[in-house]
């Protein structure tokens, strides 16, 4: 009998944090513009110390304004998607669940395309104009989350299979609407939609957005983590969980909302990056076990590592051009998923 | 300035001066010939620019165009009365909007096309699909496709198309006109160092144009060189590369005024883009949408762009330029692409907005 | 199944010492009905039923299928709200308790859902401690002791490190019982626990229940249709038929041939044996 202790948890997370650190250093070093480790270290130190005005070299500016924010975005998106994926797999009692199965990404995509169609006709101040697409994407996600919630209820509370069905139907319906819009609306902006759908970390934002995303992540992930033990018990079965003292109705609602929120945030800023939310939880389960008290934080770190690595590859492989990060995760993720299937999730 | 590849012109010219297959060739039952009783249908075998062998009924009286660039070319050749149908996107010249619409470029309605009984359907590789031409073949409707990759290609394409349609003199004249204006332009700016530009198709993510497109060639004619050197047609570019190369200008193609200045204002608020000096200093140029269309009007867009990029080369000759843009070639009617250079209108708008770095 | 099962004589103390004197569970005129959809009139699943139980007592809810046994059990567990009447556990109405408080007092053993991801036996049993303490926490020494004790009490201590999906039916049943015991409940409810067990396992389970109820002062309520097991082990029997409780009482009072034949609809024979426990024999058609 070796129950989980705080020390074990911290150790496992620290191990992953170290890997993340190395991955970030590599990501900062490599890219379309080569940077020496020394220059990197020096400029990073300046950033940390707040002496940003002293970064004069072009390389330093590139690091600070392009590469570092992009890596931070990758970390947040990867962590959000993995935590959401883990949560949905527990909530729906289905190992094949990923963050997009309940239609959130389709809703966000619809919001994005509507904003692209409407944008030329609105006279918005420039700073707001740059935010319009992610904002509308998030609104689309929020509306979808609410709609699927009501579709997924039976006798007043969320029921796993009903939720899954409701989500899948909503996702297909929204996809059909998107295809319809893209083929009938004659707007040059819809051409850009194809790139958005492929999952992309190259969008840049004002600084405050990164803080907002990080804050949103920690709040939503924290809420989910508070139910970690409940999720453990929930895996034994819903009736059993009730008998063991879990308020199943409350837990389902809270986890559904928080995980959908995480997905909505991630998709609004990066499009639909696939496979991360599906595979990272399974890999972490194989390594660290199914206890959600460990699984949730390790999945978050694992997802961050996966997305930063994928994005670095996306930037390097055809430099100075780049691939969309969703393409890299698909190429790597699909064979990995097949391998996991054959091992039957260990 | 680029020379026209002579070999290519010769090959195409030879192929168009071929056998007239006469009544010996039985016409298919569904052949969409214009009714001309008593006259045996004549055909001409040509090879189009994608290498397909096409049997074109002679003479060509009814034409359907499946691309805006081809529509413009038909008007420029003075054959607009033979144009019986075009796409939803064909909006230049304004008269083209009144023609019967057959749908979009990707998915035109075969029924509408067939109901128009065209002698020839015109397509282009970058705007239309191969499947459409194959479907038309099965219906017994001939289709001819163009595929220009450079401005020179556009000119020779115009001439070839004119020959196919039975008006070689008009074709030669239009091509000559284009050639002449480009030569003029070359004289003005040929000795100046080209401006390094980034042609922006889309901002987030950043999409530019590859080096093998006619767009890139048009930039070269305008005295610019794209900093992106990619064999992909529409490569996604890493912003770091742009920050490293620091282009002199960002170039946008506008579908209607106001877009580009708004885009620039938006980009200027983002810390990642502020590193690019051209964004900080609002150095951008705008061309009309014509730069996206491989048609004679592209020359106007090229001229307009050259004016924005090399203002000093045009300053003392601004009067001549105005005269040139208003000139109508008397031999052929009409040549709408010369009447108004759309870039000027947009220009005026922008200068008043204060965002353009071109001197006037 | 019990490690030291030797003689046939029961090791339980005399009845008066075994059962507590106070009433722990009071079921007062509870009934239940549900409608399959809103427009139809409700269907009575259970008519008003009452009984009481004391610490250390084993109650069997006996009857054929669809007699309302499981519904009654769920009402006692506090999962279903009674249409009328109430269920009081030490004076508290069970349905009004929060799931957490309820789980500290009532443990249920029933047909298990399939585990989604692999788990070890000790992890499974530890889940019984979930209701004790804050939701998000690491297990304390007390939790681990409770889990270990529970495994020992069901005789499954050596299974502690095995994977759940590698256990046999009987082993799994013991582990599930251990999880319930780890909750340290007042009330232990079991819904058809002998369904997939062989004879030896069935006897072993009920022996364990008798031993545990005496030792730990549980009140045990078992839903079953096994006539002889109920007769042998229950202190009190509720005979259910068609949603009604026909009779409540000790086995000797309930096991009357005409009554049982009416309920179970097979010809049978009832013998009273020496220690006051009847035995039922099914007569074959001839």
pLDDT of C2 > 50? The answer is no
Q: In Å, how far is B281's CA from the nearest CA of chain A?
A: 16
Question: Which chains reach chain C with 3 or more Cβ–Cβ distances below 8 angstroms?
Answer: A
**pLDDT tens-digit series, residues B246-287:** 999 999 887 654 677 788 888 888 888 888 889 888 888 888
* Three-state SS sequence of chain C: CCCCCCCCCCCCCCHHHHCCCCCCEEEEEEEEEECCCCCCCCEEEEEEEEEEECCCCEEEEECCCCCCHHHHHHHHHCCCCCCEEEEEECCEEHHHCCHHHHHHHEEEECCCCCCCCCCEHHHHHHHHHCCCCCCCCCCCHHHHHHHHHHHHHCCCHHHCCCEHHHCCHHHHHHHHHHHHHHCCCCEEEEECCCCCCCHHHHHHHHHHHHHHHHHHCCEEEEEECCHHHHHHHCCEEEEEECCEEEEEECHHHHCCHHHHHHHHCCCEEEEECCCCCEEEEECCCC
To 10 degrees, the CA torsion angle through B156, B159, B160, B163? Answer: -170
Please, what is the average pLDDT of chain B?
Answer: 77
pLDDT of B5 > 70? The answer is no
Q: How many C-alpha atoms does A46 have within 13 Å on its Cβ side?
A: 17
- pLDDT for position A188: 59
- pLDDT for position A55: 58
Instruction: For residues B230 and A118, give the distance between their C-alpha atoms in angstroms, rounded to a whole number.
Output: 32
To 10 degrees, the CA torsion angle through B220, B224, B229, B230? Answer: -60
C228-232 contact pairs (CB < 8 A, 24+) = C228/C279, C228/C280, C229/C194, C229/C202, C229/C203, C230/C60, C230/C62, C231/C255, C231/C277, C231/C278, C231/C279, C231/C280, C232/C206, C232/C277
**pLDDT tens-digit series, residues A163-210:** 989 999 999 999 999 888 887 776 656 666 777 777 888 888 888 889
Residue of A nearest to B201 (CA): A192
- Average pLDDT (C100-116) is 89
- Average pLDDT (C228-249) is 92
Asked if A129 and B256 come within 8 Å (Cβ–Cβ), the reply is no
Residue of A nearest to B103 (CA): A184
Confidence of residue C10 (pLDDT cuts 50, 70, 90): very low
Contact yes or no for C251/C230 (Cβ under 8 A)? yes
Q: How many CB atoms lie within 10 A of CB C243?
A: 21
Instruction: For residues A303 and A312, give the distance between their C-alpha atoms in angstroms, rounded to a whole number.
Output: 14
Asked if B235 and A321 come within 8 Å (Cβ–Cβ), the reply is yes
- pLDDT for position C20: 74
Backbone angles phi, psi at A326, to 5 degrees: -60, -30
Asked if B236 and A323 come within 8 Å (Cβ–Cβ), the reply is yes
Instruction: For residues C28 and C49, give the distance between their C-alpha atoms in angstroms, rounded to a whole number.
Output: 7
pTM of the model: 0.80
Of residues A36 and B336, more confidence is placed in: A36
Contact yes or no for B304/B341 (Cβ under 8 A)? yes
Instruction: For residues B287 and B268, give the distance between their C-alpha atoms in angstroms, rounded to a whole number.
Output: 20
- pLDDT for position C14: 55
Residue of B nearest to A269 (CA): B204
- pLDDT for position C93: 92
For residues A207-223, b (16+ Cβ closer than 10 Å) or e, as one string? Answer: eebbeebeebbeebbeb
Of residues A216 and A319, more confidence is placed in: A216
Closest to A26 in 3D by CA, of A318, A310, A229, A335: A310
Please, what is the average pLDDT of chain C?
Answer: 87
pLDDT of B320 > 60? The answer is no
For chain C, give the percent of residues with pLDDT over 90: 54
Residue ranges of alpha helices (H) inside chain B are 6-16, 68-76, 110-115, 130-138, 151-164, 168-189, 214-221, 239-245, 259-268, 271-274, 277-280, 298-309, 311-315, 318-326, 336-339, 342-353
Contact yes or no for A174/A104 (Cβ under 8 A)? no
pLDDT of A5 > 90? The answer is no
Q: Is C115 on the interface with A (CB under 8 A)?
A: yes
Least confident of A134-138, A219-223, B241-245: B241-245
Asked if C103 and A237 come within 8 Å (Cβ–Cβ), the reply is no
Residue of B nearest to A119 (CA): B259
Least confident of A106-110, B33-37, C115-119, C208-212: B33-37
- Average pLDDT (C15-41) is 79
Q: What are the Cα distances from residue C251, in Å, to A211, C48, C58, C61, C231?
A: 71, 22, 12, 11, 6
Asked if C160 and A1 come within 8 Å (Cβ–Cβ), the reply is yes
Contact yes or no for A268/A108 (Cβ under 8 A)? yes
pLDDT of B36 > 70? The answer is no
For chain A, give the percent of residues with pLDDT over 90: 51
Q: How many CB atoms lie within 10 A of CB C157?
A: 15
- pLDDT for position B347: 32
**pLDDT tens-digit series, residues C161-217:** 999 989 988 888 889 999 999 999 999 999 999 888 888 888 888 999 999 999 989
Q: Is C183 on the interface with A (CB under 8 A)?
A: yes
For chain B, give the percent of residues with pLDDT over 90: 21
Cβ-based contacts under 8 A for chains A and C: 90
Any residues with CB less than 8 A from the CB of B32 and at least 6 apart, and which? B62, B114, B117, B118, B119, B139, B140, B141
Asked if A203 and B235 come within 8 Å (Cβ–Cβ), the reply is no
To 10 degrees, the CA torsion angle through B17, B19, B25, B28? Answer: -20
Nearest CB partner across the interface for A202, out of B89, B239, B266: B239
Please, what is the average pLDDT of chain A?
Answer: 87
- Average pLDDT (C141-154) is 92
Nearest CB partner across the interface for A242, out of C99, C115, C137: C99
Write out chain C residues lying below 8 Å of A246, CB-based: 99, 130
- pLDDT for position C143: 92
Confidence of residue B291 (pLDDT cuts 50, 70, 90): confident
Confidence of residue A346 (pLDDT cuts 50, 70, 90): very low
**pLDDT tens-digit series, residues A293-311:** 999 999 999 999 999 999 9
Residue of B nearest to A191 (CA): B202
- Average pLDDT (C117-145) is 90
pLDDT of C111 > 60? The answer is yes
Model ipTM value: 0.85
- pLDDT for position A255: 95
Contact yes or no for A323/A308 (Cβ under 8 A)? no
Least confident of A23-37, A225-239, A240-254, B64-78: A23-37
To 10 degrees, the CA torsion angle through A187, B336, B305, B150? Answer: 80
């Amino acid at each position: 009998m070796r129950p989980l202790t705080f020390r074990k948890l911290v150790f496992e997370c620290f191990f992953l944090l170290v890997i993340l650190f190395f991955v970030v250093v590599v990501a900062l070093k490599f890219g379309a513009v080569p940077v020496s480790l020394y220059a990197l270290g020096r400029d990073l130190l300046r950033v940390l110390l707040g002496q940003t005005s002293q970064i004069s070299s072009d390389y330093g500016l590139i690091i600070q304004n392009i590469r570092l924010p992009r890596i931070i975005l990758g970390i947040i998106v990867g962590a959000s998607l993995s935590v959401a994926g883990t949560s949905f797999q527990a909530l729906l009692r289905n190992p094949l669940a990923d963050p997009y199965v309940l239609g959130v990404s389709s809703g966000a995509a619809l919001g994005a395309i509507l904003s692209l169609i409407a944008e030329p006709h609105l006279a918005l101040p420039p700073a707001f104009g740059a935010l319009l697409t992610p904002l509308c994407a998030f609104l689309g996600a929020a509306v979808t989350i609410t709609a699927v919630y009501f579709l997924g209820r039976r006798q007043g509370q969320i029921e796993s299979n009903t939720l899954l069905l409701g989500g899948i139907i909503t996702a297909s319906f929204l996809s059909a609407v998107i295809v319809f819009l893209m083929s009938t609306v004659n707007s040059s902006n819809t051409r850009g939609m194809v790139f958005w759908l492929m999952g992309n970390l190259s969008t840049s934002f004002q600084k405050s957005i990164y803080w907002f995303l990080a804050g949103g992540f920690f709040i939503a992930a924290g809420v989910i983590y508070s139910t970690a033990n409940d999720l453990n018990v929930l895996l034994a079965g819903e009736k059993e969980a009730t008998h063991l003292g879990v308020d199943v109705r409350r837990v389902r609602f809270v986890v559904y909302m928080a995980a959908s929120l995480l997905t909505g945030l991630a998709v609004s800023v990066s499009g639909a990056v696939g496979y991360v939310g599906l595979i990272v939880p399974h890999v972490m389960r194989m390594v660290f076990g199914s206890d959600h008290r460990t699984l949730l934080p390790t999945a978050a770190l694992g997802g961050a590592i996966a997305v930063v690595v994928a994005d670095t590859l996306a930037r390097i492989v055809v430099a100075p051009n780049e691939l969309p990060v969703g393409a890299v995760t698909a190429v790597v993720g699909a064979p990995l998923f097949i391998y996991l299937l054959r091992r039957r999730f260990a | 300035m680029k020379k026209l590849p002579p070999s290519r012109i010769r090959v195409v010219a030879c192929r168009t001066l071929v056998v007239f297959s006469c009544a010996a060739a039985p016409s298919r039952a569904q052949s969409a010939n214009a009714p001309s009783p008593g006259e045996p249908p004549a055909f001409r075998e040509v090879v189009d620019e994608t290498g397909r062998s096409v049997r074109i009924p002679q003479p060509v009286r009814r034409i359907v165009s499946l691309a805006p660039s081809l529509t413009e070319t038909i008007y420029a050749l003075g054959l607009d009365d033979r144009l019986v149908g075009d796409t939803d996107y064909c909006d230049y010249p304004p008269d083209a909007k009144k023609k019967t619409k057959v749908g979009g470029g990707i998915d035109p309605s075969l029924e509408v096309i067939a109901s128009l009984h065209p002698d020839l359907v015109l397509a282009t590789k970058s705007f239309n699909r191969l499947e459409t031409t194959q479907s038309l073949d099965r219906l017994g409707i001939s289709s001819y496709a163009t595929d220009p990759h450079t401005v020179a290609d556009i000119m020779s394409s115009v001439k070839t198309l004119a020959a196919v349609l039975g008006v070689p003199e008009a074709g030669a004249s239009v091509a000559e006109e284009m050639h002449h204006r480009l030569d003029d332009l070359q004289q003005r700016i040929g000795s100046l160092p080209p401006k390094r530009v980034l042609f922006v198709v889309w901002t987030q993510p950043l999409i530019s144009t590859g080096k093998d497109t006619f767009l890139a060639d048009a930039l070269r004619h305008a005295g610019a060189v794209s900093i992106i050197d990619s064999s992909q047609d529409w490569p996604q570019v890493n912003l770091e590369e742009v920050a490293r190369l620091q282009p002199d200008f960002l170039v946008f193609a506008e579908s209607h005024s106001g877009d580009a200045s708004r885009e620039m204002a938006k980009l200027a608020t983002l810390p990642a883009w502020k590193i690019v000096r051209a964004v900080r200093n609002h150095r951008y140029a705008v061309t009309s949408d014509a730069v996206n269309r491989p048609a004679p009007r592209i020359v106007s867009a090229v001229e307009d762009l050259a004016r924005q990029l090399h203002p000093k080369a045009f300053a003392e000759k601004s009067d001549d330029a105005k005269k040139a843009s208003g000139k109508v070639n008397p031999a052929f009617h009409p040549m709408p692409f010369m009447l108004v250079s759309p870039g000027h209108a947009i220009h005026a708008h922008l200068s008043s907005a204060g965002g353009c770095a071109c001197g006037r | 199944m019990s490690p030291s099962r030797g003689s046939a004589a029961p090791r339980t103390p005399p009845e008066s010492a075994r059962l507590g004197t106070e009433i722990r569970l009071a079921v007062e005129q509870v009934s239940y009905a549900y409608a399959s959809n809103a427009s139809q009139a409700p269907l009575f699943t259970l008519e008003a039923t009452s009984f009481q139980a004391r610490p250390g007592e084993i109650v069997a809810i006996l009857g054929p299928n669809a007699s309302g046994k499981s519904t009654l059990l769920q009402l006692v567990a506090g999962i279903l709200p009674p249409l009328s009447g109430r269920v009081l556990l030490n004076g508290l109405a069970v349905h009004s308790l929060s799931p957490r408080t309820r789980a500290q007092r009532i443990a249920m053993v029933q047909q298990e859902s399939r585990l989604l991801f692999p788990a070890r036996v000790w992890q499974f049993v530890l889940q019984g401690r979930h209701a004790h303490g804050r939701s998000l926490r690491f297990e304390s020494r007390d939790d681990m002791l409770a889990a270990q004790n529970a495994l020992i009490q069901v005789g499954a201590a050596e299974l502690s490190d095995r994977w759940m999906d590698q256990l046999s039916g009987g082993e799994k049943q013991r582990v599930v019982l251990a999880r319930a015991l780890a909750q340290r409940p007042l009330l232990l409810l079991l819904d058809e626990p002998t369904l997939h067990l062989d004879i030896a396992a069935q006897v072993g389970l009920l022996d364990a229940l008798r031993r545990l109820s005496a030792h730990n002062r549980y009140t045990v309520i078992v839903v079953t249709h096994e006539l002889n097991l109920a007769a042998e082990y229950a202190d009190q029997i509720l005979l259910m038929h068609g949603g009604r409780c026909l009779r409540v009482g000790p086995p000797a009072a309930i096991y009357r041939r005409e009554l049982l034949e009416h309920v179970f609809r097979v010809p049978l024979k009832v013998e009273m044996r020496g220690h006051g426990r009847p035995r039922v024999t099914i007569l074959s058609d001839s």
